[in-house]
Structure 1
Amino acid sequence: MTTTIFGPGELVRARGREWVVLPGSGEEILNLRPIAGGERDVQVVSRSLEIDGVESATFQLPDPDRVGPQDEALLLRDAFQMSLRRGAGPFRSAGRIGFNPRSYQLVPLMMGLKLDVVRLLIADDVGIGKTIEAGLIARELYDRGEIESFSVLCPPHLVKQWADQMRDKFHFPAVAVTPSSAARLERELPMNDSIFRAYPFTVVSLDYVKSDARRDHYAEFCPELSIVDEAHTCVSSEDSHQRYRLVDRIAAKTDRHMLLLTATPHSGDDMAYGKLLALLDPDFRGLVSDAGRWSPELRDKLAERYVQRRRVDIEAWNEAGAFPKHEVSVPDATYRLTGDYETFLELALDYCTTVVEKAGTDERKQRLAFWGTLALMRCIGSSPAAALHALRTRSANLGDDPDVSAVLDQVDADAEVNDLTPSLVDDPDLAALISLAEGLVARPGKDPKVACLIQRLKPLIAEGFKPIIFCRYIATAKWVGAALAKEFKSHRVEVVTGELPSDDRKAIVDDMAADQLRILVATDCLSEGIDLQELFDAVVHYDLSWNPTRHQQRNGRVDRFGQLSAVVRSLLVYGENNPVDGAVLEVILRKAEKIQKATGVPVPLPDDDRKVTEAVMKALLLRRRAVREGRGSQLSLNFDDVAAVKDMEQKWLDAAAREKANLTIFAQRSLKPEDVRPEWERTKGILGDQDLVETFVRRGLAKLNVPVVRFDGGLRLDSGKLPSEVVDRMETAITGPIQLLTRGGTRDHLHRSHPLVSALADLLIERSLDTFGRDYPSTLPRAGAWTTSAVSRLTTVLLLRIRHQIASQSERGLLLAEETDALAFEGASDFPNLLGQEASALLGALATQETSLVAKQREVRTALARLDRWQGAIGERALRRSEILVEDHRRIRQAVRGKGRIDVTPVLPADIIGLFVLMPELD
């Protein structure tokens, strides 16, 4: 006996109901989705174990005895369109993306789809959306069947953010793999199994997997797509570097897809830059940073794999509104230390100068003296609380070198920010400073720096801005938070520091969404890893960083894609008579600003910042000695004669020039958003745009008697009013008030794959198709008839759901695509007079004269009787839609070696999900 083999999209009957066969089915094992259900209801069926067997099925026609009004016809149409997850447009992933990407964010996806093996270096500016761009590529490759798994390698403090983004925006159940989670995950697996084989989607801490003990295991089971975040940290001048050995091992498998993400592809090290490019292709290893000297062939080859854009580039490409306008508050917030505060600073400077002088010519003593004095001066400049904490903290081992991470502002992708106050060497001469610090801490209301902050915050808040204040040390953040809570009593003021676990930090930030008046005080533990653009729109640099990249990261938490405000503000706070602040401004921040303005490129500080810091501190203390001796002014600082500073500035300028040259070559050779936008609009036409999503939610909730309040920019409802049938279908549990944004942002954004939209569509479809659900008040009839002036002759509109089988040379097995369509037939004609959107739009034309139920049922029965004659036209339409789908895919792919070859076949007959008769008005 021959066993019927069912292909994707075909209908079968098993277990007393109808199902759609999904990809991955074989002769014996079938992946099935109920015809009246969603993706959450998928079942795996063994045909040999089914008592009643599995047989072919047909789609049930609309019931002529159940006719409904026009508004229910429209809701039925929209519910089926909202339910599409396996889109038939140029981008098959669009139905599973939980946000509306900008056109420029689709450019890396288009570039990747033109390659046999997708290997890209995405080097866009901070805040443009590299995570989104990588996620779009992963989602599309997966939905095309080109990969079955992927892994993200990232610094440990970014693991949770990546896992959340993959789940919330791309509907991948990504598993976080860290030292703390790996043991638990392994305990749940059979012996000798691997996390990376058992879980297809993983976000892996570089700290966990880079070690010699784990690197080989990970490389053995590394999935088909590897995404490497902060890729510049994985290349160094030494091949023994653990991270480099890991990614180099992964890249050695030439058919593995790889996405390398970094905002700083070149940090001044030509060797590291060449190694980074070589991860894309070994031919790039010998390339030097001067791209103008490369051969045209290599330059063209790299241009296909290299995308680097600044915000100014994107805004010039007609992407107005993609980012907020960044306004730097002028003038800066400056304060002057007077009285005991000035005395405290002067005494500290004298102490530091004496310590350095006592060190003599002994290099080790000099090093300890420089770093110890810098630590003290940084704390004093930060706050009296930080100064007192440092003065009371003694080094555990006086022979150890100081912990420079507590002094410098190193941007280390491997480690959490160190926001602890540094320890100082035990010294009896500190007693006077401790006494003064205790007096200042006892009078918090007198702090001139805090007073300056409050003075500048008041007008900022009055304009409606919601600020985040960044501090260097935990003690300072608490000091500032207490002062602001006392001053701004109507605001919610929270303090987030590295003392809290990362989950607790995010929980505090998320909880502030309920408060319209909010102020956040944080250390740099929030300058990476948690996006703040939907809750805050102003950044105050309460403590100046010695690293301009840190300032860019702080600003980038709010000044980025998804910011809801049209304008963001940033503000610098510093002491006008504090020489340390003056040195930071002159040597670091102002030079960084000058370089960026001259080149248009934010270039990181050269790697020898430790040497520069020592030199600057030494110059400061020499200046202090000259001031004490009456040979100079405290504020007349000149670092032009400091060799380390001059050397650093030259390296900085050289790196900026190289970066600008590369941008000139590669940014202009990549695809432009205008090349992508028509394709994305075509996809949205199939799946439904934002207005349709909002309309569907309002109509659907009204059908379920759930009250909805419209406000400027969104919808608001009470989750407690949702029927249990909707709540049970939601992938993510939602409690309390729901505020859904229909424009901009990503937090609770009302997109077509939002849990509420998906659950609502699935429920309405299930009840409309399930014969057992016809008694529910919310059941939508699949037939209707009404009178309208939009037609001059009796017209029948058929709503169709067409499934397509897709086979291509590059993809595994047959895939399934689904779309809704419509045909309109005038009178008894065998051929439709309107197709697609034009036919569907007829259903929205205003219904006029009332018609009796008997007349409506009669017209529906007459139309149903014509279906046999219309099947030829329906089949031809399905074939044409398949041809258009082939054209879409070939146009998008355009790749070499037959990559664009694709065959699409409609699964016939198409489902007739609705039949509606439009009658002309009587004269």
Structure 2
Amino acid sequence: MGIAEQFSPGELVRARGREWVVVDSSNALTLRPLSGSEADLETIIPELEADPVTYASFAPPSLTDKLGGRDAAQLLRDALRLSLRRGAGPFRAAGRINFEPRAYQLAPLMMALRQDVIRLLIADDVGIGKTIEAGLILREMLDRGEIDRFTVLCPPHLVEQWTSELESKFSIPATPVTASEAARLERNLPNTVSIFEAYPFTVVSMDFIKSERRFFDFKRACPNMVVVDEAHSAVSAGKGRQRRYELVRSLADDPERNILLLTATPHSGDETAFHNLLGLLDKEFAALQDAGGERQRQLRERLAGHFIQRRRRDIDAWKEPGLFPTHETSNFPYRLTGEYEEFYGKILDYCAEVIESVEGETKKRLAFWGTLALMRCVGSSPAAAARALKTRAQLDPSAISESELSAQTLDDEELSENDLEPGVGIEDENLSSLIATADKLSAEVEKDPKFKALIKALEDMLKKGHSPVIFCRYIATAEQIGAALQKFASKHVVEVVTGAMPSEEREIRVEELGGHENRILVATDCLSEGINLQAWFDAVIHYDLSWNPTRHQQREGRIDRFGQKAPIVRSVLMYGENNPVDGAVLEVIIRKAEAIAKQTGVRVPMPDDQGSLTKALMSTVMLRARGQEQMTLDLDFSDSEEARQIEMAWINASEQEKKTRTIFAQNSLKPEEVAVEWEATQTALGGYADTERFVFQAMKRLGQPLEPLKSGAYKVALHLVPDHIKERFIAESLIDDADIKPLKVGFSARPPSGTISVHRAHALPSVLAENFLEQALDEFADEDALSTLPRLGAWETDAVDEVTWLALLRVRHRIDSRGKLGPKFAMAEESAAIAFSAFSKLPMKWDEDAFALLDQDGQNLDKSTRQNQIERALNSLEALQPALTQFAHERSEVLAGDHVRVRQALGSKGQVKVSAITPVDVIGFYVLMPGL
């Protein structure tokens, strides 16, 4: 580790004869002078400096300092507490995460810390926060010195999300490694150095390591910590997945490598795949499939320490109900009429004729899937149908396999990026007439019965104040209805996002749309994974049915997830009530999925061996529907033999999954074990209530008090604060230079809809706290500036019975630990307070009891009395130093005990030693006079 890495962003250091704030500490130190601006940044390499870079220690207040009252003292206390980034408690990462995790999200971290080598399968439901849970583990292991590198393996469309989450929430600058980025990353590297050796933290696309060269290079240089997202896809059958399994299996074969496996669907009905997944944790767990009796019991008991799986309702057991919104669902049928119904019938006849006319068994199967895809396009929109009819079919077995074509048609979860209309047109004289009809209907979208139904569904949603996402299957459909909605929802900004755009552009468009108060997003399934939408949207309309029920969960999971502020989210499922394909999908697949989930209590993907069950069902649908004079859902497919086969396979898979629910890791980890540590962390660093009080008082002092709203939130005019603070807000992307509108903020995990959730590590309190603390400690700061807090004060209060001196302290500790990577030291700091008797000069109150004195009402003293009392107190400050030093050493002993106790409770073998750094920094010193 270089010297720069020993420091942490936000810490105060001394270099080149002055004090600085650390902005970045990766390879070099990027520093900003106290009270300086972003334009004053300096980058230094500590090893090349004439004098060593040290942690800053500050002189105590002096008689020349500005005097203040209780309100200023309270502000300085809160600024000190909320500016801490490296807390001294047993959770080393607590001060470096930029959000407030919930207690249940700490459970996987507690499980991981119990293991010498981490092998953990996190299988929580969609939206609970698996990425957050994994990030907490990574951040903690880095700060403990247990790991120094890691890699996240994920599908390509999730690379950007992972990189963003690690940077924004955990202050980890991970490098995205994709096929398109590899050349740039390797450009300046020696031929003998791998990307994975040069960049310590990487997020790697599974597609990137498919090639032979990449595959073996990654295995050779793989870090000692690996996170595998969507881990079920590495053990499932199918083209390309065997290669993934070989890779992850080879990584797991290293007994010293830490592995986190993440998936919302650990069991997809394939027993072998599920036990292969468990076998990645420990090869012996794969034997659970065949084990019985005592052997099975022993394996399950061991597995409980490596496997955690929770549904929404399980979270209530963690004493945190109400973290997720209420989800209301409804169906919205429509009926094809006139030309639209007639066109559908002609397409149905055309598809049957194509299948009959194609020769050769393989081509006939390809034709079946191709024409079935055409039926889906027609059901989606005339625009999608026209585009599909104009594109030549892929009937050449050498060009595409049946498994690939069926996967596209059946909405395979790995093909969410594939939203192009399939090529189904062939050399056929009948096509010109069908294309002409499709083009005609496409040009009159406002007459489309399906689009009319969408308008009705939207009117109801918008009337209730929702911001909806409309999910379509194909690009042509999304583009068509997006354009048409501009006319029908003229008061709303409508944006269309499809797989035709690069992933970076999709995210930019979504964020820009989120800046508008009235917004509608039209998207294909390229957004069903990858970009979380809960910050801006609270409703989903399934314009097109997906043939994969998991895809519906993924769509809704973009808004119905941890962090959603709206108390109610809604989803609407649209379907054609006289569309036989919609009818079969709705009755046999979607509703059956819900019924089986309700019956068994678990939800698994439909077990469909490469589409064989769906193929049989749809063959029956097309056979029965063809020739009907009027299409109707009276064609009941739910009682067909094909439907019964699907149901039986599904029930069997669900029952198998239900059995695995007996292996819940939460049975071995009680909520109270986590809650105690979490409450201690909140107390030390400050929770929502502390943050609200501080921001409220800070903005009031700056002349821009928060404006309360009826919803319980506030408006805050960040653009009107002094320029040096506004500049910091702009640098943190809280506002733009041209912004003139106040922000709406709330101080809770789920504030009212349309407001920003502000927690202790959010940029708003962070900037204010750091600025107030820096200004107070900077001897060159402008004393008349609103943001310069006095470090001295005196007032009268009923909180004390005798003259009391209150010292506000910053106590620093050195934590020496020994982990897998050998000895490591880290600096930690905490805010503290001691109340002394002015008569005996002995401590009377400590920590929270002393802090609480600042929360009691006080009255100003006359100038002369205040000056005399402050002078007397400061003259005695030197005499208090032994007590301050003793307090620091006692705090170190307590902290060492906390670390040892937590480590022992977790079964950790690591060693830790905590030593106080003296002298203690006296940040503020106050005199409290008893009331008369």
Between the aligned residues of both structures, percent identity stands at 48
Counterparts in 2 of 1:20 and 1:479: CA distance versus 1, 3 Å: closer
Unaligned regions of 5+ residues in structure 2, if any? 1-5
Give 1:369 deviation, angstroms.
3.3
Which of 851, 871, 892 is the equivalent residue of 2:862? 851
Is 1:887 the counterpart of 2:883? The answer is no
The question of whether the paired residues in 1 share the 8 Å contact of 2:388 and 2:425 is answered with: yes
CA drift of 1:532 comes to 0.9
- Which position in structure 2 is the counterpart of 1:107? 107
Shift of residue 776, structure 1, vs aligned partner: 5.2
Instruction: Report how far residue 874 of structure 1 moved.
Output: 2.1
TM-score (ref. length: structure 2):
0.90
Match of 1:743 among 722, 744, 748: 748
Cα distance, 1:406–1:234 mapped onto 2, change above 3 Å:
closer
CA distance in 1, matches of 2:207, 2:135: 22
- Contact residue 419 and residue 524 of structure 2 kept, 8 A: no
Q: Closer, same or farther in 2 for the Cα pair 1:667/1:269, shift >3 Å?
A: same
Match of residue 497 from structure 2 = 496
Q: Say which is worse superposed, 364-373 or 319-328, in terms of deviation.
A: 364-373
SS at match of 1:351: helix
Shift of 1:620: 1.5
| Aligned position for 2:62 | 63
Matched, 1:819 2:830: yes
The answer as to whether partners of 2:608 and 2:614 remain within 8 angstroms in 1 is no
Q: Per-residue displacement from partner, 1:121-163 (whole Å, max 9, x unpaired)?
A: 0001111110011011111112222222222111100000111
- Paired with 2:745 and 2:13, the residues of 1 have a C-alpha distance of 38
Shift of 1:247: 1.7
For each residue in 1:516-573, what CA deviation from the matched residue of structure 2 results, as whole angstroms up to 9, or x when unmatched?
2211111111111111112111111111111111111111111111111111111111
Q: Is residue 69–residue 784 contact of structure 1 (8 Å, CA) maintained in 2?
A: yes
Aligned to 2:187: 187
Single out whichever of 633-642 and 193-202 deviates more from structure 2: 633-642
**Structure-2 separation of matches of 1:12 and 1:462:** 55
Deviation at 1:314, TM superposition (A): 1.3
Question: Which stretch has the larger CA shift, 311-320 or 76-85?
Answer: 311-320
> Residue 445 of structure 1 aligns with which residue?
446
For the residues of structure 2 that align with 1:328 and 1:277, how far apart are their CA atoms? Answer: 34
CA gap of 1:585–1:311, structure 2 versus 1, over 3 A, is: same
1:781 aligns with 2:790: yes
Moved more, 701-710 or 528-537: 701-710
User: Could you say which residue in structure 1 is the equivalent of 2:351?
Assistant: 352
Q: Decide which moves more: 120-129 or 174-183.
A: 174-183
* 1:463-612 equivalent positions in 2, closer than 5 A: 463-612=464-613
The whole-number CA distance in structure 2 between the counterparts of 1:892 and 1:796 is 35
Q: What letter matches 1:393 in structure 2?
A: T
Query: What is the aligned partner in structure 2 of residue 82 from structure 1?
Result: 82
C-alpha deviation, 1:707, in angstroms: 6.2
Change (3 A) 1:405 1:498: farther
Tell me: CA distance 1:44–1:504, structure 2 relative to 1, closer, same or farther (3 Å). Answer: closer
In the alignment, does 2:264 pair up with 1:263? yes
Aligned to 2:424: 423
- Give 1:396 deviation, angstroms: 6.6
Structure 1 distance, partners of 2:340, 2:430, is 19
Cα distance, 1:763–1:193 mapped onto 2, change above 3 Å: farther
Q: Pick from 745, 761, 768: which aligns with 1:760?
A: 768
Residue 692 in structure 1 maps to residue 690 in structure 2: yes
Which residue matches 2:3? none
| 1:604-643 mapped onto 2 (5 Å cutoff) | 604-625=605-626, 627=628, 635-638=634-637, 640-643=639-642
Residue matched to 1:3? none
Bigger CA drift: 594-603 or 872-881?
872-881
Moved more, 557-566 or 452-461: 452-461
Shift of 1:46: 5.3
Distance 2:177 2:85 in 1: 28
Q: Given the superposition, is the C-alpha separation of residues 658 and 290 from structure 1 closer, same or farther in structure 2, using an over 3 Å criterion?
A: farther
Question: How do 1:4-19 residues align onto structure 2 when only pairs under 5 Å count?
Answer: 15-17=16-18
The offset of 1:283, in angstroms, is 2.2
**CA distance 1:206–1:369, shift in 2 (3 Å):** closer
**Residue 225 of structure 2 aligns with which residue?**
225
Q: What amino acid sits opposite 2:827 in the alignment?
A: L
State the match for 1:769 in structure 2. 777
| Residues 688-718 of structure 1, C-alpha deviations (whole Å, 9 max, x = no match) | 1112223323433444445654443244324
Compared with structure 1, are the counterparts of its residues 740 and 421 closer, same or farther at alpha carbon in structure 2 (3 Å cutoff)? Answer: farther
Compared CA separation, residues 367 and 313, structure 1 to 2 (3 A): same
- Work out which of the residue numbers 683, 686, 693 in structure 1 matches 2:681: 683
SS of 2:153's equivalent in the other structure is: strand
Contact 1:794 1:919 in 2 (8 A): yes
Paired residues of 1:229 and 1:261 also in contact (CA < 8 A): yes
The amino acid that maps onto 1:744 is A
1:694-713 aligned at under 5 Å gives the runs 694-705=692-703, 708-711=706-709, 712-713=712-713
CA distance in 2, matches of 1:204, 1:15: 40
Partner amino acid, structure 2, of 1:886: A
Cα 1:186–1:405 shift into 2, 3 Å: farther
Q: Is the 8 A contact 1:87 1:819 kept in 2?
A: yes
Cα distance change, pair 871–494 in 1 and its aligned pair in 2 (3 A): same
- The correspondence for 1:805, drawn from 814, 818, 830, is 814
CA 1:600/1:42 → structure 2, altered by over 3 Å: closer, same or farther? farther
SS at match of 1:813: strand
Structure 2 counterpart of 1:81, which letter?
A: R
The answer to whether residue 219 in structure 2 is matched with residue 211 in structure 1 is no
Q: 2:805 aligns with which of 789, 796, 816?
A: 796
Cα pair 1:787 1:851 within 8 Å, conserved = no
Decide whether the 8 Å contact of 1:113 with 1:895 is kept in 2: no
Between stretches 66-75 and 704-713, larger displacement belongs to 704-713
Q: Cα distance 1:13–1:443, how it changes in 2: closer, same or farther (>3 A)?
A: closer
What is the SS of the residue equivalent to 1:771?
coil
Quote how far apart the aligned CAs of 1:190 are. Answer: 4.9
- SS of the residue 1:295 aligns to: helix
Secondary structure at 1:544 match in 2: coil
Partners of 1:559 and 1:296 lie apart in 2 by 36
Counterpart for residue 337 of structure 2: 338
Distance apart, 1:598 and its partner CA = 1.0
CA distance in 1, matches of 2:552, 2:54: 65
Give distance in 2, aligned partners of 1:805 and 1:482: 61
For the residues of structure 1 that align with 2:552 and 2:126, how far apart are their CA atoms? 12
Deviation at 1:202, TM superposition (A): 1.4
- Does the Cα contact within 8 Å between 1:717 and 1:739 map onto a contact in 2? no
What is the CA deviation profile of residues 154-201 of structure 1, one whole-angstrom value per residue up to 9, with x for unaligned ones? 110000011111111111111111111121122244553332223222
Q: Structure 1-normalised TM-score?
A: 0.91
The amino acid of 1:74's aligned partner reads Q
User: Residue deviations 1:375-431, cap 9 Å, x none?
Assistant: 221111111111122222223776755762685243343772334344322311223
State the partner residue of 2:840.
829
1:914 counterpart = 2:924: yes
Alpha-carbon distance in 1 for matches of 2:309, 2:54: 54
- Give yes or no for contact 2:793–2:925 (8 Å, CA) kept in 1: yes
Specify the alignment match of 1:163 in structure 2: 163
Q: Which amino acid aligns with 2:339?
A: D
Q: Which runs of 5 or more residues in structure 1 are unaligned?
A: 1-6
Give the root-mean-square deviation of aligned CA atoms: 3.3
Q: Output one character per residue of 1:718-752: Cα deviation in whole Å (capped at 9) or x when no partner.
A: 44745235625876344135444422359853222
**Residue identity matched to 2:861:** E
Q: Deviations along 1:233-292, whole A, 9 cap, x unmatched?
A: 112469992212222232222222211000111222222222222221222232218898
Bigger Cα displacement from structure 2, 616-625 vs 84-93: 616-625
Counterparts of 1:41-56 in structure 2, within 5 Å, are 50=50
* Paired residue type of 1:344: F
Match of 1:386 in 2: 384
